[in-house]
Amino acid sequence: MTKQAAFPKEFMWGGAVAAHQVEGAWQEGGKGVSIADLMPAASRTAPARTVTGHIEPDKDYPNHWGIDFYHQYPTDIKLFQKLGLQAFRTSIAWTRIFPNGDEAEPNQAGLAYYRDLFTRLRAAGIEPVVTLSHFEMPYHLVKEYGGWRNRKLIGFFTRFAEVCFANFHDLVKYWITFNEINNQTDWHSDHHLLQDSGLVLRADENHEEDMFQAAHNEMVAGAAATIAAHRIDASLQVGAMLAMVPIYPLSAKPDDVLEAQRAMQTRYYYGDVQLTGKYPQWLLRYWQRKDYHIVMADDDAATLQAGAADYLAFSYYFSLVTKARADGLHEYDEHNDLVDNPYVEKTRWGWQIDPAGLRTMLNWMQDRWHKPMLLVENGFGAYDKLEADGSVHDPDRIDYLRQHIQAVRAAVGEDGVDLFGYLMWSPIDLISASTGEMAKRYGLIYVDLDDAGHGSGKRYLKDSFAWYQRVIRTNGQDLDD
């Protein structure tokens, strides 16, 4: 008889957020201005948040208040403990530690804040998983240095990382360098370029070449930080982080298959570089053909090799589809070469729901990179309604999470994939990164605030809270309602 797939005993169950989406208090504790602080809210119908370098008085900036986690974290951690979380991922806002990014000395108030946060998590039996750069770099580095196209940022980031490792290595073992570094594959998007690399481009610049240059500098910085982490404390684990989105061919037509292969190469070369320390052959040839000149220092190759990531952290929300290009070119342009998948449903925000794609990708990543993996984001953004009695019924979120956890269980239990944890997005409602809405809710805990920051801010437990609590208690075996 075939045994039912199961999770290993030590599998880590958790939840994830990012500093700028929850903390608020954007001008407290000596904090500097981050790129997230300058992004006004957008909406479901007009999603990408426009990039502005200043505060416009007639617009809302939801990251300025978040869910007030900066003040409420002690009581929120109690709720996470009640939920049974074994791990909690958040980020350190770079601007709380180095307000402008280029100072010589860190801001002590910022260090004290995160020390208390991580100490309380540990006291609650929750393992902190910490991202160093989650869409929230200091705006000063964008304005004065041009973002990651400037190699000076390698030094600034490495100093920031070293300060964090030195101050928190006794509390934080699992680190992540750059959140979803590969989102900038969509280099037509001002929003993604700013979030990932602090790039604001002039019309006459080649956006794709600039993106490759910025990403190179970031990956060298990530490797340098990884080397520093191991020097400071050999037990630290530093992960690369990718937005894992399978891109399928629309049909079995060989040209569609070839195009999907190129799409996957284009979207995941960042993984090749960060996990193996090497650029893939196809990309070096692509740069040659396009006459792109990516500036690299003599010792970059050695740094990338010596600083290869210890593990792969990744998010998974949806899948995409492509087909052969009309111009016959064997290239992939994420902005123009995607088509709809006729076989899957979508969320209200148009995100294609595809749990099987998660199992496919877990196998694909295992075969490609042979590194331990940690799923650090997976969740369902939806409208929720707070009932008069304080309950929130969210069966669709439960369904989404159940199907994805089943896919993970099959990949781990049946396929033997080396995944050591599942951190859902998110234990608590927060500000959406793409639209800035509060109405696009992901949480198991409801926060009574609207898009403009109005409301009591009180926390309520949704139905999904009790459901996930049981999933954790039964180590992923009891997934029923």
Residues that bind ligand BG6 in the complex, under the rule CB under 6 A:
18, 21, 179-180, 243, 315, 377, 381, 425, 432-434, 440
Q: How far is the CB of 70 from ligand BG6 (least distance, A)?
A: 17
Q: How far is the CB of 426 from ligand BG6 (least distance, A)?
A: 8
Known catalytic residue at 377: yes
User: Dihedral through CA 270, CA 271, CA 273, CA 279, nearest 10?
Assistant: -70
Q: How far is the CB of 383 from ligand BG6 (least distance, A)?
A: 13
Q: Given 23, 218, 259, 377, which residue is catalytic?
A: 377
Q: How far is the CB of 367 from ligand BG6 (least distance, A)?
A: 24
Q: Which is nearer to ligand BG6, 430 or 461 (CB)?
A: 430
Per-residue 3-state assignment (H helix, E strand, C coil) for the chain: CCCCCCCCCCCEEEEECCHHHHCCCCCCCCCCCEHHHHCCCCCCCCCCCCCCCCCCCCCCCHHHCCCCHHHHHHHHHHHHHHHCCCEEEEECCHHHHCCCCCCCCCCHHHHHHHHHHHHHHHHCCCEEEEEEECCCCEHHHHHHHCHHHCCHHHHHHHHHHHHHHHHHCCCCCEEEEECCHHHHHCCCCHHHHHHHHCCCCCCCCCHHHHHHHHHHHHHHHHHHHHHHHHHHCCCCEEEEEEECCCEEECCCCHHHHHHHHHHHHHHHHHHHHHHHCCCCHHHHHHHHHHCCCCCCCCCHHHHHHHCCCCEEEEECCCCEEECCCCCCCCCCCCCCCEECCCCCCECCCCCECCHHHHHHHHHHHHHHHCCCEEEEECCCCECCCCCCCCCECCHHHHHHHHHHHHHHHHHHHHCCCCEEEEEECCCECCCCCCCCCCCCECCCEEECCCCCCCCCCCEEEEHHHHHHHHHHHCCCCCCCC
Q: How far is the CB of 52 from ligand BG6 (least distance, A)?
A: 18
Q: Which is nearer to ligand BG6, 319 or 432 (CB)?
A: 432
- Cis peptide leading into residue 426 (ω within 30°): yes
Q: Distance between CA 49 and CA 435 in Å, rounded?
A: 6
Q: Which is nearer to ligand BG6, 245 or 250 (CB)?
A: 245
Q: Which is nearer to ligand BG6, 18 or 225 (CB)?
A: 18
Q: Given 23, 127, 136, 180, which residue is catalytic?
A: 180
Q: Which is nearer to ligand BG6, 259 or 429 (CB)?
A: 429
Q: Distance between CA 144 and CA 140 in Å, rounded?
A: 6
Q: How far is the CB of 350 from ligand BG6 (least distance, A)?
A: 11
Of all residues in the shown chain, the one whose CB is closest to ligand BG6 is 434
- Paired residues of 240 in beta bridges: 312
Closest CA to 178 of 148, 205, 201, 140: 148
Known catalytic residue at 56: no
Q: Which residues are catalytic?
A: 180, 377
